[in-house]
Amino acid sequence: MKFHKSPIEGINVVSNDPFLGIIDDFLDDKEIKGVIDLVKDELKPSLTVDKKTGEYTVSKTRTSHSATLPKHATLVQNIAKKCSTYSGYNKEQLEELQVVHYEKGQKFDFHHDSNPPLNRICTMLVYLNDVENYEGLTTFPYVGYAVAPKKGRAVIWYNFKDDGEYDIRSGHVGSPVTKGEKWALNIWIKENELKNNKEIDKKFIEAEHKKYPQKKKLEVIL
């Protein structure tokens, strides 16, 4: 079974292997305002999955605030449909859409979006504002690119290889914001048939890190 849906139409491909693509103007200003209005009073400290327990927990590595979007709102359904068109996956495969908000000094350290027990084959990250001084870049050290937040822009990548194996190279950093704020929307696409991710423990991940060189120079996509 193949897990990638490429070639994907309408995406500006930045890297083929590992795949990284950009869709500028994925959301328009009206959609963005609607998304932020739905969650701005609901933000809570962002969570990460604890590597030992597999439970969601607050962590020093992710210091932003987050909120999930109400699944049945028309706007959210429309965004899910658009995501399905671009990614090629069914909208039933989406997790609840999650908005993230960073203020001064907040960041998300290097992480992979789908350590166990998660099974997120693909991620779409949509920026909901322009960030001052091009801060808050999403940096992919194994791919060699750092993407600047740009209002309405979506970044898309796979967290597993086409054969369903875990891909450390999709790991990324939400770089800190020191001026202003950063809003983004996380769209995670689930796939239940991925390979046995019980093997993905700390030792396995360390070995994966050693397999691939990180790029010394990052190209910034403005």
Ligand X SMILES: O=C(O)CCC(=O)C(=O)O
Question: Which residue from 146, 174, 194, 197 is in contact with ligand X, where contact means CB under 6 A?
Answer: 174
Q: How far is the CB of 197 from ligand X (least distance, A)?
A: 17
**CA 44 and chain centroid, separation:** 18
- Tell me: does residue 114 bind ligand X (CB under 6 A): no
- Tell me: does residue 138 bind ligand X (CB under 6 A): yes
Q: Which amino acid is at 146?
A: A
Q: How far is the CB of 59 from ligand X (least distance, A)?
A: 12
Comparing CB distances to ligand X, the nearer of 111 and 196 is 111
Contact present, 129 and 151 (Cβ < 8 Å) = yes
- Tell me: does residue 35 bind ligand X (CB under 6 A): no
- Tell me: does residue 113 bind ligand X (CB under 6 A): yes
- Tell me: does residue 14 bind ligand X (CB under 6 A): no
Comparing CB distances to ligand X, the nearer of 7 and 64 is 64
Question: Which residue from 100, 126, 177, 189 is in contact with ligand X, where contact means CB under 6 A?
Answer: 100
- Tell me: does residue 159 bind ligand X (CB under 6 A): no
Contact present, 64 and 139 (Cβ < 8 Å) = no
Q: For residue 179, which phi and psi values (nearest 5 degrees)? A: -130, 140
Comparing CB distances to ligand X, the nearer of 163 and 178 is 178
Contacts with ligand X by CB under 6 A lie at: 100, 108, 113, 125, 138, 172, 174, 184, 186
